[in-house]
């Protein structure tokens, strides 16, 4: 039998016995890398076009390859393509089928190419598409966030530090904090895309190829911004995938913090929001329950994305140049990071749009915790008392109000004046929640006017 016709047809020539079943299963990647099939075919077509232009293969070969690939794409799409474990990975499965369909032209496709530069190219093409999807989902999420922030631009609620009442903020302002976080997340993905979008093909196994190839043509056909400039680096490194997982870990971290807040806000002790029923689940035993499963799961899934980042970093750290089979292990973490971030963003964009707020409960929560105590200290400082002294005076006033079980704004003027003669009737304006909010009227501040201005700026971008 011609060695190229055996099941492991690409390299069987050198071997005296077939691979054991367990080794076959251990080394094969087709079960998961078949998701790269579109990118694999696309890259092969660009490679074949270049080979024909450079007269390395004939125009007739190229036509055969194009015809065969069109049929293979159709077979995969309609589910009639037979994936074989014997053929190890997506690349060999497609190449073998091509050869069956078009004969020798199929066997010529791999001229001047190796699976090492092939897989590196496929992964970059795949990741580029994934990043584009994620960027558009991030934008959707942000636009829903801006809509909600606009509706709640003037809604006061307690801002926390240490999860204790600190100062009043507007809900719109609070939501815009997440806008800023995800804006930086988007920047990170854009940046990662730049470094991902370079062509490895032409590196061949590791050293380049002796054929008169035109790498720039292939790069152009595939929409890459340029070529990887060192053949060893082109096939060996997966830093772009690690970077992607880093950006993914960060966006998940942000969404996880938001999730934690959504869960808290839904608790009746807060009662700040309700999440639409379609994002919640019930309990099999407690009939009254509505559980915020979606944010809880997002919080949980953040851990697996962190894990993928750690997996890829560890995967690379001990590898001598150039390609090593270790790199096959890049795919499952990367794919799962893509899926997790994509699904989470898609569902969050919808969930944000399905949030209804309970402004009365938010305002109510401000009746406890002396959120305007800082405003009283600022009031005294404006009147000449050094801030540290003002701080001490207000501390005493809070203790007094606490003993009476009232808010600072509910103390009589005479009562307040016991703590400082600088206090006048106009103090009550400073002690109200709305006065406190309106006073923080600078860029980045929580005043409703500033929230609306920030939203307008965000929408312009
Ligand atoms: N399935 C392999 C991977 O994912 C393709 C490259 C295989 N190259 C090799 N020399 N065995 O990395």
CA distance 251 to 225: 26
Q: Using a 6 Å cutoff on CB, does residue 247 contact ligand 1?
A: no
Whether residue 383 contacts residue 356, with contact meaning beta carbons closer than 8 Å, is answered with: no
The pLDDT assigned to 4 comes to: 55
The pLDDT assigned to 1 comes to: 47
pLDDT in tens, 113-123: 999 999 999 99
Whether residue 182 contacts residue 299, with contact meaning beta carbons closer than 8 Å, is answered with: no
CA 351 to chain centre: 16
Q: Where are the domains of the chain?
A: 20-111, 116-363, 369-460
Return the bridge partners of 199, or none: 227
Q: How far is the CA of 97 from the centre of ligand 1 (A)?
A: 18
Q: What percent of the chain has pLDDT over 70?
A: 98
Return the bridge partners of 198, or none: 226
CA distance 402 to 58: 89
State yes or no: pLDDT of 430 exceeds 80. Answer: yes
Q: How far is the CA of 277 from the centre of ligand 1 (A)?
A: 46
Residue to substitute in 24, 28, 116 for testing ligand 1 pocket (most ligand atoms within 8 angstroms of CB): 116
Q: Using a 6 Å cutoff on CB, does residue 119 contact ligand 1?
A: yes
DSSP 387-414: HHHHHHHHHHHHHHHHHHT--GGGS-HH
Return the bridge partners of 281, or none: 291
The pLDDT assigned to 2 comes to: 58
DSSP 66-88: HHHHHHHHHHHHHT-----GGG-
pLDDT confidence bin for 3, thresholds 50/70/90: low
Q: Using a 6 Å cutoff on CB, does residue 115 contact ligand 1?
A: yes
Ligand 1 nearest-atom number relative to CA 205: 10
Structure tokens at 28: 């094969």
DSSP 33-69: HGGGHHHHHHHHHHHHHHHHHTTSS-HHHHHHHHHHH
Q: How far is the CA of 205 from the centre of ligand 1 (A)?
A: 10
CA distance 134 to 45: 26
Q: Which of 257, 248, 235 is nearest to 308 (CA)?
A: 248
Mean pLDDT of 32-60: 98
Q: Using a 6 Å cutoff on CB, does residue 29 contact ligand 1?
A: yes
Structure tokens at 401: 């109000």
The pLDDT assigned to 284 comes to: 85
Mean pLDDT of 56-83: 98
Q: Same CATH fold, 369-460 and 116-363?
A: no
pLDDT confidence bin for 80, thresholds 50/70/90: very high
CA distance 38 to 44: 10
CATH class belonging to 369-460: mainly alpha
Which helix (DSSP H) or strand (DSSP E) does residue 342 occupy? Answer: helix 331-353
The pLDDT assigned to 9 comes to: 59
Structure tokens at 171: 């809900």
pLDDT in tens, 383-411: 999 999 999 999 999 999 999 999 999 99
What is the CATH code of the structural domain delimited by 116-363? Answer: 1.20.200.10
The pLDDT assigned to 442 comes to: 96
Ligand 1 nearest-atom number relative to CA 90: 1
Q: Where are the beta strands (DSSP E) in 319-438?
A: 355-357
Catalytic status, residue 162: yes
Q: How far is the CA of 421 from the centre of ligand 1 (A)?
A: 80
The pLDDT assigned to 285 comes to: 83
DSSP 173-204: HHHHHHHHHHHHHHHHHHHHHHHH-EE-TT-T
User: Residues 4, 58, 136, 283: which is the catalytic one?
Assistant: 283
The pLDDT assigned to 287 comes to: 84
State yes or no: pLDDT of 282 exceeds 60. Answer: yes
Largest CA distance in the chain: 106
User: Residues 16, 162, 284, 356: which is the catalytic one?
Assistant: 162
Catalytic status, residue 382: no
Whether residue 28 contacts residue 85, with contact meaning beta carbons closer than 8 Å, is answered with: yes
Q: Which of 452, 394, 456, 387 is nearest to 423 (CA)?
A: 394
Residue to substitute in 31, 121, 328 for testing ligand 1 pocket (most ligand atoms within 8 angstroms of CB): 328
State yes or no: pLDDT of 281 exceeds 70. Answer: yes
Q: Using a 6 Å cutoff on CB, does residue 96 contact ligand 1?
A: no
The pLDDT assigned to 8 comes to: 57
CA distance 170 to 404: 28
Average pLDDT, the chain: 95
Q: Which of 248, 249, 270, 247 is nearest to 260 (CA)?
A: 270
CA distance 20 to 239: 33
Q: How far is the CA of 325 from the centre of ligand 1 (A)?
A: 6
**Residue owning the nearest CA to atom 2 of ligand 1:** 328
The pLDDT assigned to 51 comes to: 98
Ligand 1 nearest-atom number relative to CA 331: 4
pLDDT in tens, 351-384: 999 999 999 999 999 989 999 999 999 999 999 9
CA distance 411 to 417: 10
The conformation of residue 288, written as its DSSP 8-state character, comes to T
Structure tokens at 114: 């190796």
- CA atoms lying within 13 Å on the CB side of residue 244: 34
Look at the domain 20-111 and name its fold.
Answer: Fumarase C; Chain B, domain 1 (1.10.275)
Structure tokens at 47: 């490679």
Mean pLDDT of 417-427: 95
The pLDDT assigned to 7 comes to: 54
Q: How far is the CA of 283 from the centre of ligand 1 (A)?
A: 47
Whether residue 236 contacts residue 310, with contact meaning beta carbons closer than 8 Å, is answered with: no
Q: Phi then psi for 159, rounded to 5 degrees? A: -85, 145
Residue to substitute in 115, 201, 322, 329 for testing ligand 1 pocket (most ligand atoms within 8 angstroms of CB): 115
Mean pLDDT of 255-267: 97
From the CB of residue 105, how many other CB atoms can be counted at a distance below 10 Å?
22
């Amino acid at each position: 039998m011609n060695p190229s016709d055996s099941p492991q047809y690409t390299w069987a020539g050198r071997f005296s016995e077939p691979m054991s079943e367990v080794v076959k299963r251990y080394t094969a990647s087709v079960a998961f890398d078949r998701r790269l099939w579109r990118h694999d075919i696309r890259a092969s077509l660009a490679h074949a076009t270049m080979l024909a232009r450079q007269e390395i293969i004939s125009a007739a070969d190229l036509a055969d390859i194009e015809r065969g690939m069109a049929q293979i794409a159709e077979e995969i799409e309609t589910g009639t393509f037979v994936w074989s474990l014997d053929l190890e990975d997506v690349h060999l499965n497609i190449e073998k089928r091509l050869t069956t369909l078009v004969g020798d032209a199929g066997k010529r496709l791999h001229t001047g190419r190796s699976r090492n530069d092939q897989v590196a190219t496929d992964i970059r093409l795949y990741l580029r598409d994934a990043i584009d999807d994620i960027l558009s989902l991030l934008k959707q999420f942000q636009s829903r966030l801006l809509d909600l922030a606009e509706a709640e631009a003037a809604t006061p609620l307690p801002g926390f530090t240490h999860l204790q009442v600190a100062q009043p903020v507007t809900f719109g302002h609070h939501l815009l904090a997440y806008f800023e976080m995800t804006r930086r997340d988007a920047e990170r993905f854009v940046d990662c895309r730049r470094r991902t979008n370079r062509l490895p093909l032409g590196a061949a196994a590791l050293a380049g190829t002796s054929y008169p190839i035109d790498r720039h043509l292939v790069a152009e056909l595939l929409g890459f911004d340029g070529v990887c400039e060192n053949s060893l680096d082109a096939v060996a490194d997966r830093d772009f995938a690690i970077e992607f997982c880093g950006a993914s870990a960060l966006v998940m971290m942000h969404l996880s913090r938001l999730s934690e807040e959504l869960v808290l806000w839904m608790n009746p002790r807060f009662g700040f929001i309700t999440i639409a029923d379609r994002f919640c689940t019930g309990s099999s035993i407690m009939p009254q329950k509505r559980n915020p499963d979606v944010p809880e799961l997002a919080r949980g899934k953040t851990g697996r994305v962190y894990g993928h980042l750690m997996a890829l970093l560890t995967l690379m750290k001990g590898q001598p140049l150039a390609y090593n089979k270790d790199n096959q292990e890049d795919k499952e973490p990367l794919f799962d990071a893509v899926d997790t971030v994509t699904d989470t963003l898609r569902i969050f964009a919808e969930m944000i749009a399905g949030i209804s707020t309970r402004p009365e409960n938010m305002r109510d929560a401000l009746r406890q915790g002396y959120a305007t105590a800082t405003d009283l200290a600022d009031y005294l400082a404006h009147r000449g008392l050094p801030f540290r002294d003002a701080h001490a005076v207000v501390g005493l006033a809070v203790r007094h109000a606490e003993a009476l079980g009232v808010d600072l704004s509910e103390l009589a003027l005479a009562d307040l004046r016991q703590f400082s003669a600088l206090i006048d009737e106009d103090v009550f304006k400073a002690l109200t929640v709305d006065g406190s909010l309106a006073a923080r009227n600078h860029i980045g501040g929580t005043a409703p006017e500033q929230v609306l201005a920030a939203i307008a700026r965000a929408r312009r971008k």
